[in-house]
């Protein structure tokens, strides 16, 4: 009786000892009698006692491998230190377990040789400005090389590029000179723009001044024209008034039946008014001369 209980207890302990729970994003590689048997995914699994064993516990999460800086030589014989970071993920636990010994060390060596091959084709300036190209080429090469190992290389980043100290000093001098050159260019551009604005302002001012003078001349001409028109209209009105007065005088003489002696007398009065001027010669009609003689004779008889 006790023996049966002991056997049952032993079997329960043995079964419990061989139960495994695989958590999320993990996988177990199982060998049976030293040969690959299966890959356990997420869930509860039971292995055969003394026959099955867990060959590898693999995480399926994306991993980050940050390798130490590596010395590389550029095409123009400049030695620099480059630090890279690799983002990878295990896609096949079986290949990862049986593909290569120490996969991370293999990837590090592969990344170093690949990086040296790529940088050896580039000059210093190209290396400093071609990070995206270096990243893409390294990712393609590493992804193809690690595919038989069950590893997927998702991304490669060049974290840091450190040129020699002498090169850094030369680059700083070059950058300083470039900044000074840009500053001089910007200053010259500013002075040029300022001169252009001043010239445009003077031009606009001269145009406005000329337009104002032109407008003033036009206004003066219009005013003079208006004054001349008004003066001509006044003179014309004066002539019309004189003509009207003359016509009224003739009509008056005609209405009173003025005789010839009276007309001659009026002519003499008009002649007297003309003689009051500065004229040195006066042509007197013969009728007025006779009338003048008659008037003189009458005057003399009155004096006697």
DSSP secondary structure letters along the chain:
-HHHHHHHHHHHHHHHHTEEEEPTTEEEEEEETTEEEEEE-SEEEEPPTTTEEEEEEEE-SEEEEEPPPEEEE-TTS-EEEEEEEEEEEES-HHHHHHH-SSHHHHHHHHHHHHHHHHHTTS-HHHHHH-HHHHHHHHHHHHHHHHGGGTEEEEEEEEEEEE--HHHHHHHHHHHHHHHHHHHHHHHHHHHHHHHHHHHHHHHHHHHHHHHHHHHHHHHHHHHHHHHHHHHHHHHHHHHHHHHHHHHHHHHHHHHTT--HHHHHHHHHHHHHHHHTSS-S-----HHHHHHHHHHHHHHHHHH-
- What local confidence, expressed as pLDDT, does residue 223 receive? 84
Name all domains of the chain by residue range, CATH numbers in brackets: 2-59 (no CATH), 62-163 (3.30.479.30), 262-304 (no CATH)
pLDDT in single tens digits along all 304 residues of the chain: 778 888 888 778 877 878 888 888 899 999 988 889 999 988 898 888 888 888 889 999 999 998 888 889 888 888 888 989 999 999 999 999 988 888 889 999 999 999 999 998 888 888 888 889 999 999 999 999 999 999 999 999 988 888 878 777 777 787 888 888 888 898 888 888 888 988 888 888 889 888 888 888 888 888 888 888 888 888 878 777 777 776 776 676 566 555 555 555 555 555 555 555 555 555 555 555 555 554 454 445 445 4
Helix (H, G, I), strand (E, B) or coil at 157: strand
Crossing angle of helices 103-119 and 131-146, rounded to 10°: 140
Distances (CA, A) of 151 to 7, 154, 259: 45, 9, 149
Tell me the two tokens of residue 239: 């002539």
Residue that has been written with the tokens 């010994």 in this structure:
101
The sign one gets for the Cα dihedral 125, 131, 134, 136 is negative
Report the pLDDT value the prediction gives residue 153, as an integer from 0 to 100: 93
Provide the pLDDT for residue 302. Answer: 42
DSSP state at residue 155: E
Residues 6+ apart with CB under 8 A from 279: none
Residue 136 has a pLDDT of: 93
Cα 120 from Cα 141, distance rounded (Å): 16
The CA distance from 74 to 109, in Å, is: 19
What pLDDT shows up at residue 265? Answer: 56
Q: Give the Cα separation of 72 and 128 in Å (integer).
A: 13
> What are the distances in angstroms from CA 153 to CA 26, 116, 220?
18, 19, 90
pLDDT at site 29? 92
CA distances from 44 to 27, 41, 50, 151 (A): 12, 9, 19, 26
């Amino acid at each position: 009786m006790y023996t049966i209980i002991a056997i049952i207890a032993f079997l329960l302990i043995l079964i419990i000892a061989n139960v495994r729970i695989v958590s999320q994003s993990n996988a177990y590689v199982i060998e049976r009698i030293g040969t690959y048997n299966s890959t356990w995914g997420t869930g509860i699994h039971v292995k055969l006692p003394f026959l099955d064993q867990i060959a590898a516990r693999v995480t399926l999460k994306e991993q980050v491998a940050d390798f130490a800086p590596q010395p590389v030589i550029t095409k123009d014989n400049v030695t620099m230190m480059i630090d890279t970071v690799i983002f990878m993920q295990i896609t096949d636990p079986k290949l990862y377990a049986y593909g290569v010994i120490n996969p991370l060390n293999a990837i590090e060596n592969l990344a170093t040789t690949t990086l040296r091959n790529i940088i050896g084709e580039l000059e210093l300036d190209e290396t400093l400005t071609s990070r995206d190209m270096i990243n893409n080429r390294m990712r393609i090469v590493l992804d193809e090389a690690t595919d038989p190992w069950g590893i997927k290389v998702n991304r490669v980043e060049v974290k840091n590029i450190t040129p020699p100290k002498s090169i850094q000093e030369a680059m700083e001098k070059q950058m300083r000179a470039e900044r000074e050159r840009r500053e001089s260019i910007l200053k010259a551009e500013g002075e040029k723009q300022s001169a252009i604005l001043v010239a445009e302002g003077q031009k606009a001012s001269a145009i406005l001044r000329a337009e104002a003078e032109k407008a003033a001349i036009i206004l003066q001409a219009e005013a003079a024209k208006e004054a001349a028109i008004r003066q001509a209209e006044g003179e014309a009105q004066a002539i019309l008034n004189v003509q009207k007065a003359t016509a009224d005088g003739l009509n008056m003489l005609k209405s009173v039946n003025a005789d010839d002696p009276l007309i001659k007398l009026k002519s003499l009065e008009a002649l007297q008014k003309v003689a009051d001027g500065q004229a040195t010669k006066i042509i007197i009609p013969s009728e007025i001369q006779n009338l003048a003689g008659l008037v003189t004779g009458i005057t003399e008889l009155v004096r006697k």
